[in-house]
Amino acid sequence: MTTYYKEHQKIFVSVDCIIFGFESSELKVLIGRRKFDPGIGEWSLYGGFVRNEESIDDAAYRTLYELTGLEHVYMRQVGAFGRVDRDPGDRVVSIAYYALINVKDYPEELMREHGVEWVGINHLPPMFSDHHEMLIKARQLMQDQIKTSPISFQLLPELFTLTQLQRLYEAVNGEQVDKRNFRKRIKDMDFIEKTDLIDKTGSKRGAYLYRFNKNSYNEASNFKL
């Protein structure tokens, strides 16, 4: 490192990961209690400081991998949070990211190891610093992106029912959608494929299972749901 900028104050840069999952028709967030001060014992997002040799994106992917052991996860930057008094420990600017994972892809052993758990978006406890503000902004960003990008399939299993897909959209947006209109729009999307498989866990009659066809989506240019 050079010896420039000695006349300027140094500040810390951190990343915080807002990890969303979907389970039992509910949008959930992965949070845990802080194991160190400041704020030990308070509910918190999972994060860490940016190292000298890495970009903020690299730091976010490293932090996500350390927590989940998952690679190639959908993740997008939410924004910077730099309120002067946001961290009682020191002057810290945090860059927040949100990630989408399938709840079943995250091993319970790792959850226990890191002391984190899935909590429903509508049942969040008071959280450390501005982490709740980060969550709100991340959800708003996801609500905008889910309308024009097929990010919803990151939260679903490879095979899913139309009811599951509808419940997911309702959970993300926080409001019900009309079933008839929703399914009509789905039928117009070639990249959502109906399979011959039937899911009978919900009823004796069962429901057809669908899958997301990435190749078909890449050929489409006007996705909107």
Q: How far is CA 112 from CA 18, 40, 106, 116, in A?
A: 18, 18, 11, 7
Mean pLDDT across the stretch 187-194? 89
pLDDT at 119: 98
Q: Is the pLDDT of residue 155 over 60?
A: yes
pLDDT at 203: 73
Q: In whole angstroms, what is the distance from residue 151 CA to residue 145 CA?
A: 7
Q: What band does 219 get if pLDDT is binned at 50, 70 and 90?
A: confident
Of 27, 59, 49, nearest to 175 by C-alpha is 27
Of 18, 15, 16, nearest to 119 by C-alpha is 18
Q: What percent of the chain has pLDDT over 90?
A: 85
pLDDT at 217: 83
Q: 75-89, 150-164, 203-217 — which is least confidently predicted?
A: 203-217
Tokens linked to 199: 């899911």
Q: Is the pLDDT of residue 127 over 90?
A: yes
Chain segment 47-64, per-residue pLDDT in tens: 999 999 999 999 999 999
| Helix 131-145 with 162-173: angle, nearest 10 deg | 130
Q: What percent of the chain has pLDDT over 70?
A: 96
